[in-house]
A and B are shown apart, each in its own frame.
Chain A
């Protein structure tokens, strides 16, 4: 089954890329933006049919490789 993980920067971590994107949006006339934070999105197809087991597997992947918990948070979503 397919599991997704969304990695986002923690609140206090500076996101220069997000800031530049925000400025670009501003320049394009999207003046109602307060803040932009850039993150990562993964779709992982696992050989596992039990959603609970599949999620816990991806949870372990996030902790060990996909996210750096000093600066990032992650959220796991079952997509299929």
Chain B
């Protein structure tokens, strides 16, 4: 299985993602934002970081970079595109998933492990996962998911909420909503479920010597789903 990770100026989770993808069997290539063509890929990943210094709005400038035209075409033709953290912000700015990510409600940069819940498994990312609650890492300043009421209705009607912030038993409440996101949303699909944007970093949880292995479960399952 072939994957490509796009590196923007200011990306800083691109190499972690490269390590994670290779560890679980992907043949991964790094692609520079100023390139125009994507290598043949089964999965494109937009990594975390601070693309273009997060100037103007997080992800806004990266969403207009040269390679994004190809990424958008790839997504529109049904290809799998996953955006993590800043990658999620790039996806919303590119219009590939609905909504926006605002400044965290309590104005703090949040860097900690959280529990997240995955409910919708009718998609290439999560099908066959044998549990619903995962411990992932988050590290962001702008992860407060927001959308209009009309968009929210559409998102819910189409089962587009991919991941929720929750407690370790999977309960959704305000206490376990770290950044003020609407409906505890931590990740969103596009309508067709081939594009996934999420704030948590599964690539930071792939080894016991890091802070956990729930990310490993996610990646192992992902490559089996794509095969």
Contacts and interface: CB of A to CB of B under 8 A. Distances in A.
B57 interface: yes
B93 interface: yes
A70 interface: yes
Contacts of A70: 99-100, 146-148, 151
A28 interface: no
B180 interface: yes
Nearest to B95: A70
Contact of A68 (B57, B61, B180): B57
A39 interface: no
Contact of A71 (B61, B104, B146): B146
B96 to A, nearest CB: 13
A17 B146 contact: no
Given A14-B180, A16-B105, A16-B107, A68 B99 contact: no
A14 B56 contact: no
Given A65-B64, A68-B100, A14 B146 contact: yes
Q: Which 9 A-B pairs have the closest CB atoms?
A: A70-B100, A16-B107, A71-B100, A16-B103, A68-B100, A16-B105, A68-B57, A20-B107, A71-B146
A33 interface: no
B102 A13 contact: yes
Interface residues of A, number: 11
Contacts of B106: 16
A66 interface: yes
A14 to B, nearest CB: 7
A34 to B, nearest CB: 21
B89 to A, nearest CB: 11
**B57, B61, B99: most-surrounded residue (chain A CB, <10 A):** B57
Given A16-B106, A16-B180, A66-B56, 4 more contacts: A16-B103, A17-B107, A65-B56, A71-B146
Nearest to A20: B107
Contacts of B57: 68
B219 to A, nearest CB: 31
A14 B105 contact: yes
Nearest to A64: B64
B124 interface: no
Interface in A47-80: 64-66, 68, 70-71
B123 interface: no
Contact of A17 (B61, B93, B103, B180): B103
